[in-house]
């Protein structure tokens, strides 16, 4: 960490707050988990496991040496090799063979963030494709782009069914129209040959964040008697339904009508990723295997620039926070729950992805784009989550998987009557379900201008077996080499103790089902039961902050002070 970050810090508490936001100063704010906790030194696959050429060749995009002499209408293009055209796209883009660089650049200039239409998945059996992009810069005057129209028509001609191309806009028509005020908007169907526009009515990141926060509050402090009505009031399952329904529509159009589908939302990295990846999961049996699902996440979420840092890891821009990737994993769980023999892996894989996309323990989900990950050489300077997945492969497999019964499209039911809350994830630390010890979620984010990033809390239900339950919970929840200090509020006998540092299995890494703890983070509860401070042992000399003081007249205010 640069020493300039500590200038102006005239107290130990101020230094700790800087360390709590360490991700603002350096990308590698955590060290890799030691090999002794579930890794073998011989199992170290590279971080960037996804290889675009190998994956698209598997799909049937053969650019040279085809056995039948016919080359694919889709080819890899290196026009973005230095990320100059679109910094959030991968270096290699697959596009129709007939396109020239002028049309491609014109289309990129017309699309938000330069995210022009490119191939996401090719259906060899039907000869059609899923294409992804961002919204056009149409504006109030419905501005058009000849280059963009050429690109969309080329995508149509690259399909065996050239009668129609469907453009799926993940937003509502009203929301898309509202974007025209900002110089963007949606396509005019008349401007694109044989095109049909379909609006999917999926909520934006702000609505999803509000729903998720409401769910978090319900899980933490909800009324047991009014649980079902309160769950409905959060709207979480309605959002799951809208995303799942949209993906089912895309998958069915691809399979039954054999049309090419263009999918976009506003900037093409949130709802677009959900729709394209879920549709591919339903269409392609390979993505329903463990290895295939890893490829799907690498391709649709990592290489195409879902903003993992902004959505899950950063406290810089609270308005950017939104659990979009968690929502996607929830949708996959709904499919597994309904079709248990269709997927090779079990929900434990989804839980680990949900946890470690936020934990900071692995380099896999750091930063927002492929360009940034390559710049900081994360394949050489951090451990890949896929190493852990491979080491724990046996416990992530589904024993009821039967590939012979699900060789093509699978279609789950998106009715609210069929959807369920993912309790094994959201309620896994619930005190009433797990022996009397409750690990609750975080409080809502601090108000604007606040200096502390509230990440979570540990709240223990008091009872005859409280001590044993507390110890069991902490051993499970904080199984790493962090010094941990706990101070209870004045309503209980005041005591401070430090858990011994230790390492356990990687499956017991510190996980919060709502926002995982990051190494180097201050973990404040602002709650009357207890306040917990976590920090990574290797970052600091821990001897001078091993005690936590509670202000006598403000039970929810905590300070760190030197003890020696």
Determine the pLDDT at residue 63.
74
Determine the pLDDT at residue 49.
64
pLDDT tens per residue across span 41-84: 333 444 346 799 999 999 999 877 555 556 789 999 999 999 99
Determine the pLDDT at residue 66.
56
Active-site residue identified among 86, 261, 265, 516: 265
Q: Span 259-279, mean pLDDT? A: 97
CA distances to 49, 75, 356 from 62, rounded to whole Å, are 20, 8, 35
Determine the pLDDT at residue 67.
57
Of all residues in the chain, the percent with pLDDT exceeding 90 is 58
Determine the pLDDT at residue 560.
28
Q: Span 416-423, mean pLDDT? A: 96
Determine the pLDDT at residue 505.
25
Burial of residue 5 (number of CB atoms within 10 Å: 0-12, 13-18, 19+):
middle
Residue 389, pLDDT > 80, answer yes
Q: Span 127-137, mean pLDDT? A: 97
How far is residue 554's CA from residue 487's CA, in Å, rounded to a whole number? Answer: 14
pLDDT tens per residue across span 434-483: 654 333 333 333 333 332 222 223 333 334 444 454 444 444 434 433 33
Determine the pLDDT at residue 251.
98
Determine the pLDDT at residue 234.
97
Q: Span 254-269, mean pLDDT? A: 96
Determine the pLDDT at residue 78.
93
Sign of the Cα pseudo-torsion (552, 553, 558, 563, in order): negative
Determine the pLDDT at residue 550.
28
Claim: this prediction has a pTM higher than 0.75: no
Determine the pLDDT at residue 45.
40
- Beta strand 128-132 pairing with 260-264: parallel
Of all residues in the chain, the percent with pLDDT exceeding 70 is 66
Q: Span 365-388, mean pLDDT? A: 90
Burial of residue 80 (number of CB atoms within 10 Å: 0-12, 13-18, 19+):
buried
Query: Residue 296: pLDDT band by 50, 70, 90 thresholds?
Result: very high
Q: Please list the residues that pair with 496 across neighbouring strands.
A: 487
Mean pLDDT value across the chain: 74
Determine the pLDDT at residue 434.
60
Residue 536, pLDDT > 80, answer no
How far is residue 355's CA from residue 326's CA, in Å, rounded to a whole number? Answer: 9
Q: Span 413-417, mean pLDDT? A: 96
Q: Are 517 and 534 in contact (CB under 8 A)?
A: yes
Determine the pLDDT at residue 495.
28
Residue 541, pLDDT > 50, answer no
Q: Span 509-527, mean pLDDT? A: 29
Query: Residue 26: pLDDT band by 50, 70, 90 thresholds?
Result: very low
Of 268-272, 278-282, 287-291, 511-515, give the lowest mean pLDDT range: 511-515
Query: Residue 310: pLDDT band by 50, 70, 90 thresholds?
Result: very high
Determine the pLDDT at residue 510.
33
Q: Span 480-503, mean pLDDT? A: 30
The long-range contacts involving 139-144, CB below 8 angstroms and separated by at least 24 positions, are 139/180, 139/183, 139/184, 139/185, 140/180, 140/181, 140/183, 142/180, 142/185, 142/188, 144/188, 144/191
Q: Are 313 and 23 in contact (CB under 8 A)?
A: yes
Of 175, 216, 52, the C-alpha closest to 121 is 52
More confident: 531 or 145: 145
Annotation marks residue 5 as catalytic:
no
Q: Are 403 and 377 in contact (CB under 8 A)?
A: no
Residue 523, pLDDT > 90, answer no
Determine the pLDDT at residue 265.
97
**CA 145 from chain center: how many Å?**
33
């Amino acid at each position: 960490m640069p020493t300039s970050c500590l200038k102006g810090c005239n107290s130990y508490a101020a230094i700790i707050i800087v360390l709590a936001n360490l991700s603002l100063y350096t990308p590698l704010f955590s060290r890799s988990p030691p090999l002794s906790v579930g890794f073998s030194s011989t199992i170290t696959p590279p971080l960037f496991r996804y290889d675009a050429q190998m994956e698209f060749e598997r799909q049937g995009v053969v650019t040279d040496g085809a056995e039948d002499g016919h080359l694919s209408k889709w080819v890899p293009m290196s026009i973005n090799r230095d990320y100059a055209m679109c910094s959030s796209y991968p270096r290699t883009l697959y596009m129709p063979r007939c396109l020239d660089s002028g049309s491609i650049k014109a289309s990129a200039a017309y699309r938000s963030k330069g995210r022009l239409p490119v191939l996401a998945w090719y259906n060899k059996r039907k000869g059609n494709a899923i294409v992804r992009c961002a919204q056009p810069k149409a504006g109030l005057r419905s501005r058009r782009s000849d280059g963009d129209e050429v690109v969309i028509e080329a995508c149509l001609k690259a399909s065996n069914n050239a009668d129609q191309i469907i453009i799926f806009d993940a937003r509502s028509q009203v929301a898309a129209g509202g974007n025209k005020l900002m110089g963007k908007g949606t396509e005019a169907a008349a401007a694109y040959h044989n095109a049909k526009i379909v609006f999917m009515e999926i909520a934006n990141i702000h609505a999803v964040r509000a729903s998720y926060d409401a769910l978090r509050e319900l899980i933490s402090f909800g009324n047991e008697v009014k649980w079902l009505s309160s769950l409905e009031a959060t709207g979480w399952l309605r959002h799951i339904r809208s995303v799942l329904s949209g993906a089912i529509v895309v998958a069915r159009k691809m399979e039954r009508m054999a049309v090419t589908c263009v999918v976009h939302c506003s900037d093409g990295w949130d709802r677009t990723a959900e729709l394209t990846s879920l549709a591919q999961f339903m269409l392609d049996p390979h993505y329903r295997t463990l290895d295939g699902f890893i490829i799907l996440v690498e391709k649709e979420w990592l290489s195409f620039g879902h903003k993992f840092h902004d959505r899950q890891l950063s406290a810089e821009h609270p308005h950017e926070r939104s659990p979009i990737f968690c929502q996607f994993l929830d949708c996959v769980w709904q499919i597994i729950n309904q079709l248990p023999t269709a997927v090779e892996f079990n929900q434990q894989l989804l839980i680990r992805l949900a946890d470690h996309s936020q934990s900071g323990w692995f380099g896999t989900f750091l930063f927002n784009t492929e360009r940034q990950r390559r710049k900081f050489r994360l394949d050489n300077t951090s451990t890949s989550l896929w190493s852990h997945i491979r080491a724990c492969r046996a416990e992530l497999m589904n024993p009821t998987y039967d590939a012979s019964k699900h060789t093509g499209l699978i279609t789950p039911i998106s009715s609210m009557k069929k959807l369920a809350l993912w309790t094994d994830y959201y309620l896994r630390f619930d005190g009433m379900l797990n022996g009397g010890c409750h690990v609750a979620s975080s409080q809502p984010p601090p108000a604007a201008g606040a200096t502390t990033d509230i990440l979570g809390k540990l709240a223990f239900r008091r009872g005859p077996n409280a001590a044993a339950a507390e110890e069991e919970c902490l051993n499970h929840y904080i199984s790493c080499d962090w010094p941990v200090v706990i101070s209870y509020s004045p309503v209980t006998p005041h005591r401070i103790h430090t858990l011994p540092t230790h390492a356990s299995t990687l499956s017991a890494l510190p996980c919060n089902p709502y926002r995982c703890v990051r190494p180097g983070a201050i973990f404040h509860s602002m709650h009357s039961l207890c306040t917990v401070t976590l920090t990574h042992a290797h970052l600091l000399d821990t001897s001078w902050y091993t005690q936590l003081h509670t202000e006598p007249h403000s039970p929810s205010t905590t300070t760190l002070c030197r003890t020696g």
